[in-house]
Amino acid sequence: MARVVVPLADGFEEIEAMSIIDILRRAGIETVIAGLHEGPITSARGVKVLPDTTIDTIKAEDFDMIVLPGGQPGIDNLNADERVKKLIQDFYNKGKLTGAICAAPYVLANAGVLEGKKATSYPTYKEKLGNVDYLEDIVVEDSNVLTSRGPGTAACFAFKIVEKLAGKEKADQLKQAMLFNC
C-alpha cells in the first residue's frame, strides 16, 4: 500500500488539506498527517486538527510521497521550518513524489526542487517560484513533482495523486463513486 505524508502547520488551508487527506484515504492510500508541533494544528479559519504524528518522526524512506497544502500563514510556517525543507529535499532526491497546492509550491521552490520545471500555484505566487515554466493548468506534473492551483482544484489534485499511486482505474472508480467530474 502506498504511503503519503501531509505536513500541517498552523494556518493551513482547510479545503486543500482535508480534500487531499480524505480522497487519498478513500482510495486506500495510507495518509499520515504530520504536525509541525505536538497537539492540535489550527487552520487559517480556526479549524483544529489533531495530527497522527509530528514531523520529527517522518523519514522519506518510509513514504512514497509528501504533499503540502497551502494556506496563510501555513505556508510561511512550513517555509520557515528547516525540517520541512530537508524532508522535501529527501523525497525529491530519492525520486519520490513531491506535491504542493496553492501557495505551497513556493515552499518547494525554496527547497530547490522546482528549478527549471513546469509548475503552477495560486496566481499571486507565480512570480515567487523562481525559474519555472509556469502553467495555469489545474494540475501540473513534471517528473516526480506535482503542483496545483488552489482550493477549487484540490479534489482534482488529489485524484491525480491517486492515479499516480494507485492507478488510473482506481482514480476513475473513486471519481465516479464521489460524483466528481475532473
Catalogue the active-site residues.
102
Write the burial class of residue 160 (CB in 10 Å: 0-12 exposed, 13-18 middle, 19+ buried): buried
How many Cα atoms occupy the beta-carbon half-sphere of 112 within 13 Å?
A: 9
- Grid cell, residue 72, equals 496563510
Q: Please, where are the H alpha helices in the chain?
A: 14-26, 74-79, 82-93, 105-110, 154-166, 168-178
Helix (H, G, I), strand (E, B) or coil at 88: helix
